[in-house]
Amino acid sequence: MEEFNNIINGKKVQSGATFGVVNPANGNVFAHCQIADIPMVDRAVAAARAAFPAWSKTSHDERKEKIHALGDALEANMPDLMALVTAETGKPMAGLNGVGSGMEVGGSMAWTHYTADLDLPVDIVQDDDVASVRVFRKPLGVVASITPWNWPLMIAIWHVIPALRAGNTVVIKPSPLAPLAIIRFVEMANQILPPGVLNVITGDASIGAALSEHSDVDKIVFTGSTPTGRNIMQAASTNLKRLTLELGGNDAGIILDDVDVKDIAPKLFAAAFHNNGQTCACLKRLYVHESIYEELCQELAHLAKAVVVGDGMDDGVELGPVQNKAQMAIVMELAEDARANGGRFIAGGHAIPGNGFFFAPTIVADLEDGARLVDEEQFGPIVPVIRYSNIEAIIERANQNDNGLGGSVWSRDVAKATALAQQLECGTAWVNDHGAVQPDAPFGGIKQSGFGVEFGSYGLEEYTSIQTVKITKT
C-alpha cells in the first residue's frame, strides 16, 4: 500500500505517524499518509518564509515560465492524477455530462496556464510636471492554503497558482479525507520550483488551526464550511492576515413559467447533481412556477432514476458515492427530516446497499422554506423542488437564506431573467445556466458564503498589497 509524505523545503518529511485514506466507493483504506505535527507546521512556514525573498524578486517572465511548466506537468501526469482523484473522492473518471476526475485534472491544467499569463500592471495615477504617482502590486509573503475534499486538486490549483504568480510562497494543508492528488502535485511542482516555494503538510483541524494562527503567515485562502471559516477568521486576527474565504452555498434556481420543461430538465439535473451534489455552487434548491411544477418534477425524477451510480473507476458510471461517512449521515438525516415535514419523495430517498457510501439520487417535492432540506446546504445527491406562484415573493424568499454564493434564473425571456438575476443576493448569478465558472471571471460569495474572490485579474490581486509611490518633481 502506497505511503504519501509531507513535503517541506523540497524534501519528503515523516513524523512516524500515519493515517489511512479511504476509498468511498468501498469503504476500504487504499493508501497511507504521513501526518504532520505542530513543529512541522513551523518548519513548513519557515521554509516558505526563507524562500520568499528570492522568489518574490524573480521576474514576471520567469514566474510565468515555471507556472506554465507546472501546467505541462499536470498534463504529463494526468492519468495518475485522475486515478488518485477518483480513488479518494469517489467521483467518476468521466462523470455526469463529463464532470468527473478528467474534468478536475483538465480544469487544473487550464486554470494553471491561464493564470500564468496574467499580469499585474502598474497603475499610473499622475504623471505630469508636478509629480509622478504610481500604484504597484506587491506579493504579500507566505500564503496558507486550506482545501476541502470535494474538488481537492482543482481547488488547490485555484489557491496555489495565483499565489505563486503574484510572487508569494505557499504552505498548503489538504483535507485529510482527500490529500493524495495534492501531495502528488506538490511532488511534481518541487521538480520545477525552488525549494520552499511550495510546501504541503497534512493533518486534522489542529494543523489548520496552527497555520491560521501562525505569526509568519501573511494570508489564508480557505474553501470549506462557514463555521470553519469563522474560526479561521478569528485566528487570523492575531496578525491581521489577509483572507479569502469561499464558504458554504445554498444556491437557488428560479424557473419561470415560460421554459421548455423537457429541454431544461437535463440542464437543471446536471447543475444540481454533478459530483453527486458535492460542489459549493451546485443548484441546492429549485423554485418552480406552479404551472409547470408537476411536469418538471416528473422529468427530474425520471432523470434521477435513470442516472448510472457506481464505482467511479467503472466505465459508464455517471455519479459516484458520497465522499465520506460523516457527509453520508448528514444527507440521510436531511432526508428523514424532509419526510417528517411532508416531503414527497418522487425519486430515491434511500442508501444503496453495499460497503460504499452510496445514496440514491433523490428528488423531493412539496417542501417549503423552513424545512431543513431547503434552508440548509445538503452537499449530496438530494434536491428539494419548491412550488411558487408569485415571482416577486419568491425572489424575496430565495434571498432570505444566510448563504450568498450563487443563484440562477431560467427563462426564454433573457432580458426579464437577467433583471431578476440581478436582484438575487449572491456573488455570481447565472441566466439559463448554473455553476459554470471560468478562469477569467471572478467568483466568490457574500453574506455567510464568505468574502474575497478567485479567478482572473480580480483573484490575482487578492494575493497582493498596494504600494503607492509618489515622486515629487517640483
For residue 228, count other CB atoms closer than 10 A to its CB: 20
| 282 is a catalytic site residue | no
In sequence order, what are the beta bridge partners of 223?
246
What's the alpha-carbon Rg for the chain, to the nearest Å? Answer: 23
For residue 98, the 8-state DSSP code is G
Residue with cell 419561470: 256
* Distance in angstroms (rounded) separating the CA atoms of residues 120 and 202: 32
Catalytic residue among 246, 299, 318, 377: 246
Could you tell me the sign of the dihedral formed by the alpha carbons of 252, 257, 263, 266, in that order? positive
| 246 is a catalytic site residue | yes
* Distance in angstroms (rounded) separating the CA atoms of residues 221 and 60: 22
User: In this structure, what are the phi and psi dihedrals at residue 97, rounded to the nearest 5 degrees?
Assistant: 55, 30
User: In this structure, what are the phi and psi dihedrals at residue 123, rounded to the nearest 5 degrees?
Assistant: -95, 120
Give the full edge-to-edge strand order of the sheet including 198-200.
11-13, 6-8, 198-200, 169-173, 142-146, 219-223, 242-246, 450-451
Query: Could you give the 3-state DSSP secondary structure of residue 380?
Result: coil
Catalytic residue among 280, 282, 297, 426: 280
* Distance in angstroms (rounded) separating the CA atoms of residues 152 and 174: 7
Q: Which residues are catalytic?
A: 246, 280
